[in-house]
Structure 1
């Protein structure tokens, strides 16, 4: 059995100590939000480690609010439809750019990379969206971000490092066309990449609120993040959520509970999805580090 020296033992001790300290620094704010979502706000003035004066008023109000659930539904639609369009455009484009026989691919990559550093700005983008008739519509939340340059580069690098040219040549010898090769060979071998793109694009759509702030006026189209933003910044609750309160103090306490509860409700889908895609997320980071 390998015997550790005294210096190694001290190193391991402080290493574990720093890791535990970092874990506490990360975990406690998340834990605090959870217990604050059903604790009396008056009991949260000091450092707390367990719920005090448990109240479910915040969650009850959230589950009964039509506007919040409408925002929740809109965010799910934007995330699902947006991610589907993202995949439909990004994966084929990245594969095409990974092929050495694509003429002008170097120029295309320069143009795509250029967009990562320079853009037209908010006003030209707004005028473009307006001229296309997408203002105050679902498409304003989906089309402007249909393809992410960085995700496109990650996908292209994946294809370059994973799909060898010999595989394509062997498939063509058997009479396989480019489209058949892509659908029946490339896509089945790219499940990890697809999972990565779902995670990247899905999280971006779910957390997006700026496009809604700029392009949407109809509150029925607001995503959950915009509704949550209104509650957090304005520090007030819509009148239809205050029907069960009888005093200003009750309203303030209910508002605090609702704000913390909304953070939990808004983050829940990503918290459920992330454990299933975590290993692909790590692999995606490694893919992005490969040059090619």
Structure 2
């Protein structure tokens, strides 16, 4: 059937609206990108929308990569993301698998106490005291262990595991498979879309995390990239990155350095998303439709 005039108008309106929303959403990132590529003095004199670099200049990026804390922060963050995401997936998968078993005793009671943590928690001070008493202060474990399982993610993964046919598990048990074999050889391979979503969510969470490091870390050599970025943006600690720059130009260059630092810290995680995007929609829709 041919679309009516009303349907064409409605479709055109939706298209224009979505393009507008895309532009509004993307422009802040584009603005930061263009500002980081601009000449510092010309950028400070610019007014209005920024539709391209003002006097193309890479000095801000050169200054960023000269800062040893940036590269150290990158190294630390990559380590925290890799190890933290591995711990998250392992712990979340075990918890989700146990809670997805139909014959688990007291399952509803356990789910109640697990879900209630999404609303109520001990707070920062009790958590800090617990981490301190466990001897994890100023260690990598203070950043990874307290948040090893995200309740919401575990519920999503549990729903995915429940969709695996019971006949497969029963057949595996008849062949002598243990629970570990069923989890790692059957359930997880059949749940790759939700696994990809968990990797994305946990990795982005670790990549953007700075508050835990701010609270628990005292050694600057262990700072993640986001904490280094916080120092540059909030503490205005760009002077060490501008050796040999005249004092009159330091403020202008310092502004473009901040934008370049933002691009450097966000670009890797943005590049990761397209590889997982094909799983993303399917993964988050698991459990949304019941038959």
Task: Give the structure-1-normalised TM-score.
Answer: 0.93
Structure 2 counterpart of 1:104: 106
Structure 2 counterpart of 1:208: 209
For each residue in 1:130-182, what CA deviation from the matched residue of structure 2 results, as whole angstroms up to 9, or x when unmatched?
A: 01111111111111111111111111011012x12222122222333322222
Pick from 116, 119, 142 the counterpart of residue 117 of structure 1. 119
Compared with structure 1, are the counterparts of its residues 116 and 291 closer, same or farther at alpha carbon in structure 2 (3 Å cutoff)? farther
What is the count of residue pairs matched by the alignment? 288
Structure 2 counterpart of 1:65: 67
Structure 2 counterpart of 1:242: 242
Structure-1 separation of matches of 2:168 and 2:4: 52
For each residue in 1:5-43, what CA deviation from the matched residue of structure 2 results, as whole angstroms up to 9, or x when unmatched?
A: 322222222222212211221122221111111113224
Do residues 85 (structure 1) and 87 (structure 2) align? yes
Counterpart mapping for 1:106-185 below 5 A: 106-161=108-163, 163-185=164-186
How far is the alpha carbon of 1:227 from its aligned partner? Answer: 1.1
Compared with structure 1, are the counterparts of its residues 201 and 288 closer, same or farther at alpha carbon in structure 2 (3 Å cutoff)? farther
Does the 8 Å CA contact 1:157/1:291 hold for their aligned counterparts? Answer: no
For each residue in 1:21-72, what CA deviation from the matched residue of structure 2 results, as whole angstroms up to 9, or x when unmatched?
A: 1122112222111111111322443212111112211100111110111111
Structure 1 gap ranges (5+): none
Structure 2 counterpart of 1:37: 36
Structure 2 gap ranges (5+): none
Q: CA RMSD, aligned part only?
A: 1.7
Structure-1 separation of matches of 2:71 and 2:56: 24
Task: Give the structure-2-normalised TM-score.
Answer: 0.93
How far is the alpha carbon of 1:216 from its aligned partner? Answer: 0.9
Compared with structure 1, are the counterparts of its residues 281 and 147 closer, same or farther at alpha carbon in structure 2 (3 Å cutoff)? same
Structure-2 separation of matches of 1:179 and 1:4: 55
Structure 2 counterpart of 1:223: 224
What stretches of structure 1 move > 6 A for 4+ residues in a row? none
Which stretch shows the higher mean deviation, 87-96 or 281-290?
281-290
